[in-house]
């Protein structure tokens, strides 16, 4: 029987790294006790990013070199899903231009949603005919001047789970489920209500998790000394080291929690750490992943020779290396809707999105799928009944032509300070895709001036939010090539 | 080619409201202000008007749909009134309707009206609006300066022009227009500006600063047209006739066809210009045209348009501009009335406002700003949309014997 495990992996960390010192500087008057947490930086999504857009990027990274038509199902784990009732993973499916025949579901409700989804995918893999794309993303909304504001960070991870030439073999899993209420959030609440940190640490992070480790390692039949990488996605100080010590796992096996450079990415963090571990791992390493939240998950994996043959990808390391320092705490609060600014009357444009139009154009709008004329090869976006090629009047000849993964070059550009934009100025321009296709498109992640001729890559982002009707609208933008 | 419109229709009278922030007036009152001047100039009675066209750009913002608001404002004698909208070319579009009606013989005397009431939006610039539910899924709703700034980046890249050189050239465009507008009692902005002021103004859409952008104002303009025979029968001696009237519309090639358009010019303007020169029998526009009024919504638009009208060599307009070729005393003055720069751009009115100035100049009625060399042929150019997708309208008018 073929091995079951992880076939591929990827991750995404937004570009901006908010300096914790900037958060602390603004809040020290009120909460001087935060000083101990005011070190390093945390990843923050731009105004047009959320758990869906980050999951799409992680999914693209995980599917590097893989035929998208081969994916049989996907799941998105997060406690910060933009839609309470509209399949969030269904939006991801459209953006990734996966087959209409995939199964998709959202996983939510606890900080271990990511590890639970992965455990489930690994256990179900033997019975699935096609790989499952297991995504997790979180962008937690945290109360200003709270510990969580400094501890968390925004990120996403993706793992393709299935049978065959796996890069990490699934050796087993163990879970405990116990209603330990370290925090909670009910619908309508802006922020988590968090209980006392000392109690969470002693009874939850240490006692509950140690029980899971003790029972789980026995059930999985693994000696502590055999664990090469121990992944504890808990950033509270000293917890990981205490757990390792109690379980007898070598301190050298402890993985970096990425607290200094990213922050704890909520329910995605275990998978983010797993991707980071897989990036660094050599064949034959045993990786033990922990998940914590109203119980605990343990997942045991062992890397194979295939891991050294995986195509290069951004991953966690690449995303972290691509960071840009940000000191603007207030801008972040505005982007996360925590401080209101006077947007001006230009922001009053109605953003209503008729579902009928979206349904007709879902491939173009969500997947950046253009058309390619089967007779002349002319590529265009969007598709049209009659080709844009001036030398032919071919009609009804266009087949789907996905553009999202094709590099493009800038033909014209401006920085528009008149239009309303959440992060002014609005950068946009025309781009030509390599091999055909041209469009006017908004630019994202602009840190310095963009010149005509610059190479761009497409990114899936929030286009606008219809605040009157609560709808988040998505489309693609062009970002400078990394 | 079609036989064209040359000399088949004459302008019987024209009028133009004062442009500006007309807090005192609705669109219909602006129309009345321009119409009263036009009908007095024409020397006819309203009952002699056989048909009317109304050009308005933003229907939600000002007078609402249909031709009815014009019919009611002027109490027209229950004639056919058609409202037209073709982006910023709406003014020339209404003129085309009236001129074609007369040329066809369907009407003896026809009325063209353009009006826009922009200053009820509550903010500067043009109103923000949808371009349809499908466009809104995938398109970028940039501002007008943002859209037109794109051509600056394309023009500079294609012709390898230094950033500062182009910035100075477009600044000269605005300095020149302000100098002209200062002499025009109907202009919105009547203050001369110097290069430093223009160069150091706040950036609106890179590289366009505040003074690279035309004003936003309220205004109306009116033309009454008829056949040359009827005009003469009504006692008109110096006739201004229509020599050419062409509109060209993008078909998506510039915006969608990779490797085609290079982003540095206005494709439909070149097509409309060629057709207009053919229609008017103009073989050498640089020698034959006396002056131009072009769509200077932004300074860069005017500069690039000089090439698209074949008045400058490709890639050379920035030098010609700096050389003063299009100044009031230059080889072919452009915006001798101050242009959109000083009048602002009440969308529906602009095309007719340009023709109004050309009409006055041809008849020697332009007062302080009258071109010294007596003009015989004058071109106006009205552009709607954005560099990558637009409607370009050209009207050439001239003395009947020119």
CB contacts, 8 Å: A357 with chain B: 133-134, 137
Q: What is the pLDDT of residue A447?
A: 87
- Whole-angstrom distance, CA of residue A258 vs CA of residue A11: 13
Query: In the predicted model, is pLDDT for residue B130 greater than 90?
Result: no
Nearest 5°: the CA angle B391, B394, B395 is: 145
Alpha-carbon gap, residue A61 to A158, rounded angstroms: 8
Cross-chain residue pair B255–A440, CB shorter than 8 Å:
yes
Nearest neighbour of A430 by CB, restricted to B144, B152, B388: B388
Among residues A206, A38, A53, the alpha carbon closest in space to that of A138 is found at: A53
- A416 contacts on B by Cβ (under 8 Å): 142-143, 145-146, 149, 204-205
Pairing of strands A41-44, A155-163: unpaired
**Residue B61 above 80 pLDDT?**
no
Q: Which of B154, B208, B257 to mutate to test the interface with A (most CBs of A within 10 A)?
A: B257
Q: What percent of chain B has pLDDT over 70?
A: 99
For residue A388, give the nearest of B141, B204, B253 by CB distance: B253
Q: Residue B330 contacts by C-beta under 8 Å, 6 or more apart in sequence? A: B323, B324
Contacts of B152 in chain A (CB under 8 A): 414
Query: Which of A361, A381, A420 comes nearest B256 by C-beta?
Result: A381
Whether the pTM exceeds 0.90: the reply is yes
Inter-residue long-range contacts of B15-18, CB under 8 Å, 24+ positions, other chains counted: B15/B39, B15/B40, B15/B41, B15/B221, B15/B222, B15/B356, B16/B186, B16/B219, B16/B220, B16/B221, B16/B222, B16/B349, B16/B352, B16/B353, B16/B356, B17/B186, B17/B219, B17/B220, B17/B221, B17/B349, B18/B185, B18/B186, B18/B219
Which residue numbers in chain A have pLDDT < 70?
1
**CA of A382, closest CA in chain B: separation in Å?**
8
Closest CB to B204 among A350, A358, A417: A417
**Closest chain B residue to the Cα of A432, Cα to Cα:** B258
**A104 beta partners:** A74
Q: Are A418 and B204 a contacting pair at CB < 8 A?
A: yes
Decide: B308 and B266 in contact? Cβ < 8 Å: yes
Subunit contact B150:A382, Cβ cutoff 8 A: no
In this predicted structure, what is the pLDDT of residue A89? 98
**Do strands A132-138 and A73-77 pair parallel, antiparallel, or not at all (unpaired)?**
parallel
Selection from B105, B111, B99, B90 nearest residue B10 by Cα: B99
* Chain A residues within 8 A of B251 when measuring between CB atoms: 388
Residues of chain B with C-beta less than 8 angstroms from the C-beta of A412:
150-151, 153-154, 157, 263, 387-388
Among the partner residues A413, A437, A441, nearest to B153 by beta-carbon distance: A413
Contact A345 B138 (CB under 8 A): no
Disruptive mutation site among B130, B135, B146 for chain A (greatest number of A CBs within 10 Å): B146
Q: What is the pLDDT of residues B237-270, one digit of tens each?
A: 999 999 999 999 999 999 999 999 999 999 999 9
Residues in chain A closer than 8 A to B206 (CB atoms): 414-415, 425
Residue range B348-356: mean pLDDT, rounded:
98
Q: Do B150 and A452 touch (CB under 8 A)?
A: no
> Distance (Å) from the C-alpha of residue B143 to the closest C-alpha of chain A?
5
B335, containing H or E segment = none
**What are the chain A neighbours of B143 within 8 Å (beta carbons)?**
416, 418-419, 426
Cα distance from A430 to chain B (closest Cα, Å)? 8
Kindly report the average pLDDT of chain B as a whole number: 96
Which positions in chain A touch B122 (Cβ < 8 Å)? 345
3-state secondary structure of A114: helix
The alpha-carbon gap from B244 to the nearest alpha carbon of chain A, in Å, equals 27
Which of A412, A452, A475 is opposite residue B137, by nearest beta carbon?
Answer: A475
Residue A476, helix vs strand vs coil:
strand
Instruction: Specify the DSSP element, H or E, that contains A272.
Output: helix A269-280
Q: Do the Cβ atoms of B205 and A418 come within 8 Å?
A: yes
Q: Do the chains contact at B263 and A452, CB–CB below 8 Å?
A: yes
CATH 2.40.50 placement within chain A? 345-368+403-480
Q: Do A365 and B137 touch (CB under 8 A)?
A: yes
Indicate the class that CATH gives domain A345-368+403-480. mainly beta
Residue A191's alpha-carbon distances to A148, A149, A195, A242, B63, in angstroms, are: 10, 11, 13, 29, 48
- pLDDT, mean of residues B93-105: 98
- CB B212: neighbour CB atoms within 10 A? 30
pLDDT at B2: 85
Pairing of strands A455-466, A471-480: antiparallel
Q: Cβ contact (<8 Å) for B145 and A420?
A: no
Q: Which residues of B have a catalytic role annotated?
A: 88, 345
Give the separation between CA B314 and CA A34, rounded to whole angstroms.
63
Adjacent-strand bridge partners of B218: B20
B174-232 pLDDT tens trace: 999 999 999 999 999 999 999 999 999 999 999 999 999 998 999 999 999 999 999 99
Q: Which residues of A touch B260 (CB under 8 A)?
A: 390, 438
Could you tell me where the beta strands, DSSP code E, fall in A29-167? 41-44, 73-77, 103-107, 132-138, 155-163
Domains and CATH numbers, chain B: 10-120+218-233 (3.40.47.10), 142-213+244-399 (3.40.47.10)
Is B153 in contact with A437 (Cβ distance < 8 A)? no
Distance of CA B38 to the CA centre of its chain: 18
> Which among B123, B129, B33 has a CA at the least distance from the CA of B87?
B129
Instruction: Supply B37's token pair.
Output: 């001047």
Alpha-carbon distance of A353 to A358, in angstroms, equals 7
- Rounded CA-CA distance A407/A424 in Å is 25
Q: How far is CA A470 from the centre of its chain?
A: 22
* pLDDT bucket at B307, cuts 50 / 70 / 90: very high
Are B93 and B393 in contact, with CB atoms under 8 Å apart? Answer: yes
CB contact under 8 A, A412 and B151: yes
pLDDT given at position A392 = 87
> In CATH, what number does A4-335 get?
3.40.47.10
User: What Å distances lie between residue A456 and A2, A404, A445, CA to CA?
Assistant: 40, 11, 11
> In chain B, which residue's Cα lies nearest the Cα of A417?
B204
> Where does A72-208 have alpha helices with state H?
88-95, 113-124, 147-151, 197-199
Which member of B146, B154, B257 has the closest CB to residue A418?
A: B146
- What would the DSSP string read from start to end of B57-70? S-TTTTT-SSSHHH
Q: Which of A349, A354, A430 sits opposite B150 (nearest CB)?
A: A430
Query: How far is it, in rounded angstroms, from Cα A379 to Cα A377?
Result: 6
Residue intervals of chain A classified under CATH 3.40.47.10 are 4-335
pLDDT at position B60 over 90: no
- Interchain CB distance below 8 Å, B263 and A378: no
How many Å is the Cα radius of gyration of chain B? 20
Residue B59, pLDDT > 80, answer no
Asked if the Cβ–Cβ distance from A411 to B263 is below 8 Å, we say: yes
Alpha helices by DSSP H, B183-312: 195-199, 228-233, 253-256, 267-280, 285-288, 299-308
User: What value, to the nearest 5°, has the Cα angle with vertex B217 and ends B22 and B169?
Assistant: 145
Query: Does pLDDT of B125 surpass 90?
Result: no
Residues in chain A with CB shorter than 8 Å from the CB of B253 are 388, 390
If you count residue pairs, one on A and one on B, with CB atoms under 8 Å apart, how many are there? Answer: 144
């Amino acid at each position: 029987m073929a091995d079951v495990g992880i076939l591929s992996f990827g991750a995404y960390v937004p570009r901006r790294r908010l300096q914790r010192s900037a958060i602390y500087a603004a809040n020290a008057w009120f909460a001087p006790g935060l000083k101990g947490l005011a070190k390093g930086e945390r990843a923050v999504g731009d105004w047009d990013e959320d758990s869906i857009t980050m999951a799409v990027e992680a999914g693209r990274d995980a599917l590097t070199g893989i035929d998208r038509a081969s994916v049989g199902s996907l799941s998105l784990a997060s406690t910060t899903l933009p839609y309470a009732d509209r399949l969030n993973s269904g939006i991801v499916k459209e953006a990734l231009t996966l087959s209409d025949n995939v199964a998709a579901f959202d996983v939510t409700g606890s900080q271990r949603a990511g590890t639970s989804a992965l455990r489930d995918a690994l256990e179900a893999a033997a019975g699935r005919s096609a790989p499952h794309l297991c995504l997790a993303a979180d962008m937690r909304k945290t109360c200003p001047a709270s510990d969580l504001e400094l501890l968390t960070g925004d990120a996403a991870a993706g793992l393709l789970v299935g049978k065959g030439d796996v890069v990490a073999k699934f050796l087993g899993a163990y879970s405990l489920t116990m209603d330990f209420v370290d925090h909670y959030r009910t619908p309508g609440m802006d922020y988590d209500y968090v209980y006392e940190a000392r109690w969470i640490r002693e009874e939850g992070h240490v006692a509950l998790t140690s029980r899971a480790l003790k029972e789980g390692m026995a059930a999985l039949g693994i000696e502590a000394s055999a664990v090469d990488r121990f992944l504890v996605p808990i950033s509270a100080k000293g917890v990981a080291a205490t757990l390792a010590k109690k379980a007898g796992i070598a301190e050298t096996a402890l993985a970096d929690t990425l607290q200094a450079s990213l922050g704890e990415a909520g329910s995605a963090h275990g998978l983010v750490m797993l991707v980071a571990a897989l990036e660094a791992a050599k064949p034959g390493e045993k990786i033990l992943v922990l998940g914590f939240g109203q119980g605990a998950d343990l997942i045991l994996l062992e890397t194979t020779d295939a891991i050294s043959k995986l195509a290069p990808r951004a991953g966690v390391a690449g995303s972290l290396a691509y960071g840009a320092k940000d000191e603007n705490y207030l801008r972040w609060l505005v982007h996360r809707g925590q401080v209101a600014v006077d947007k001006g009357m230009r922001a009053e444009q109605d953003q209503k999105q008729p579902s009928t139009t979206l349904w007709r154009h879902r491939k173009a709008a969500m997947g950046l799928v253009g058309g390619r004329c089967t007779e002349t090869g002319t590529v265009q976006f969007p598709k049209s009944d009659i080709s844009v090629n001036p030398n032919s009047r071919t009609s009804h000849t266009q087949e789907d032509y996905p553009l999202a993964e094709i590099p493009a070059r800038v033909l014209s550009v401006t920085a528009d300070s008149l239009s309303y934009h959440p992060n002014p100025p609005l950068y946009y321009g025309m781009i030509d895709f390599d091999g055909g296709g041209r469009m006017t498109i908004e630019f994202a992640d602009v840190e310095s001036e963009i010149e005509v001729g610059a190479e761009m890559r497409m990114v899936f982002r929030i286009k606008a939010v219809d605040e009157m009707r609560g709808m988040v609208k998505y489309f693609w933008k062009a970002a400078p090539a990394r | 080619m079609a036989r064209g419109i040359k000399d088949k229709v004459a302008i019987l009278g024209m009028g133009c409201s004062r442009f500006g922030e007309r807090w005192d007036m609705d669109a219909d009152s602006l129309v009345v202000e321009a119409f009263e001047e036009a009908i007095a100039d024409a020397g006819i009675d309203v009952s002699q008007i056989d048909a009317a066209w109304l050009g308005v750009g933003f229907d939600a913002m000002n007078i609402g749909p249909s031709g009815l608001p014009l019919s009611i404002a002027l109490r027209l004698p229950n004639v056919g009134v058609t409202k037209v909208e073709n982006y910023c070319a709406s003014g020339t579009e209404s003129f085309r309707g009236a001129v074609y009606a007369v040329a066809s013989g369907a009407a003896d005397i026809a009325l063209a009206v353009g009006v826009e009431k922009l200053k009820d939006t509550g903010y500067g610039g043009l109103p923000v609006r949808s371009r349809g539910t499908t466009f809104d899924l995938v398109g970028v709703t940039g501002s007008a300066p943002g859209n037109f700034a794109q051509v600056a980046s394309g023009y500079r890249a294609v012709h390898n022009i230094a950033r500062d050189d182009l910035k100075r050239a477009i600044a000269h465009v605005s300095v020149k227009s302000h100098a002209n507008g200062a002499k025009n009692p109907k202009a919105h902005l009547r203050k001369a500006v110097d290069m430093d002021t223009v160069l150091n103004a706040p950036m609106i859409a890179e590289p366009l600063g505040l003074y690279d952008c035309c004003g936003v104002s309220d205004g109306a303009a009116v033309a009454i047209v008829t056949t040359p025979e009827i005009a003469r029968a009504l006692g008109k001696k110096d006739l201004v006739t229509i020599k050419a009237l062409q509109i060209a519309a993008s078909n998506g090639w510039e915006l969608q066809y990779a490797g085609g358009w290079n982003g540095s010019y206005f494709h439909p303007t070149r097509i409309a210009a060629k057709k207009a020169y053919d229609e008017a029998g103009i073989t050498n526009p640089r020698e034959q045209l006396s002056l131009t009024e072009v769509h200077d919504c932004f300074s860069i638009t005017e500069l690039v348009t000089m090439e698209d009208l074949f008045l400058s060599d490709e890639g050379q307009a920035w030098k010609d501009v700096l050389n003063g070729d299009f100044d009031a005393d230059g080889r072919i003055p452009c915006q001798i009335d101050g242009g959109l720069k000083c009048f602002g751009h009440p969308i529906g009115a602009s095309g007719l406002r340009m023709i109004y100035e050309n009409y006055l100049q041809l008849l020697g009625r332009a007062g302080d700003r009258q071109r010294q060399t007596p003009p015989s042929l004058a071109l106006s150019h009205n552009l709607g949309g954005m560099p990558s997708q637009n409607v370009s309208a050209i009207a050439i008018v001239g003395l009947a014997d020119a």
